[in-house]
Chains A and B, each alone.
Chain A
Amino acid sequence: MRIVCPFCGERELGEFTYLGDAKPVRPAAGASEDDVFDYVYLRDNIAGETTEHWYHGGGCRAWLKITRNTLTHEISSVEPAAGAGAAKVGA
């Protein structure tokens, strides 16, 4: 498997580390225990397209958000995760 890093170009899988599902959103402070439990522990096991966070630790060290099909391993999009390239915010 290869991933096309938006900063570096196409690289081998060994340069990347998988973090996990990119879907869960951190609940607001004061959210219920159930919401926090859901955020920390519960994950969908999707057969099909899913979004994931990957880390290009063996390259430019940017976090990436990847859309991947778990049935075919086809990667349909790779984009910088929130915060990557932060220097451009407001520029």
Chain B
Amino acid sequence: MAEFSWASRSPLEHALVVGAYGARDVEPGISLTEIRNFELIQVMARRGKGAELARTAKARFGMAAPNVPKAVSASDVTLIWSGPDQFLVLSKGGKHAIDILSEAFSQSASLSDQSHARVLISVSGAKARAMLAKLSSIDLHPAAFPTGTAAATSIDHTSVNLWRGYDRPDGQAVFNLLVFATFAESLWHTMLDAAAEHGAEIGYSEELG
């Protein structure tokens, strides 16, 4: 049998141009950062197994999986609510990869590896909320959408999982956005259009925030 070597490439490889974008005569109001090379597992409880999944998840991750639209984080993993009886496991480094979680949840849930099926975009900066307000009908004001809030919603007719992560060291809010890989380029251009007037700093990172 032929030996294959799969090179991992970002769906935004062509669309993402590192550097400044949009208005140049202002301090960039938005940071748009693609986070690359993560592991993402969709976990969905089987019929009648909601309580068992909750117990297993708590034992596995050391914290309860969210059963309302929230995202919770430990040092090595983030659990993001994605609908009734289901959540996403976002991590890095293989500790929570599909083969390991499949075993842990074999009795209570169905799992699907989304690691290469989604693009993760982090939006932050003084104008991040103003920019997202053009694209989303969700109220992202800190009073309505504090750190750890999550939403399964649509932006530009594209399904996204949106959640507010920990603030940046300078205190700015960070909004994380998971989008289907094949829709990512389209959404990326929409986001660039929305960000242009505020000036954006474009980049990518291998670090989960």
Contacts and interface: CB of A to CB of B under 8 A. Distances in A.
Interface of A: 7-9, 11-12, 14-15, 57-62, 80, 84-91
Interface string B17-36: 00000000000000000000
- The contact size tier of chain B is 20 to 34
B84 interface: yes
A15 B137 CA distance: 10
A14 B155 CA distance: 11
Contacts of B154: 14-15, 58-59
17 contacts: A7-B69, A7-B83, A8-B152, A11-B137, A14-B154, A58-B159, A80-B84, A85-B84, A85-B85, A87-B44, A87-B46, A87-B47, A87-B49, A87-B84, A88-B50, A88-B85, A91-B50
Interface string B61-72: 000000001000
A87 B69 contact: no
A12 B51 CA distance: 31
Interface in B140-174: 151-154, 157, 159
**Chain B interface mostly:** mixed
B94 interface: no
Contact of A12 (B52, B85, B137): B137
Given A15-B154, A61-B152, A62-B84, A87 B159 contact: no
B69 A9 contact: yes
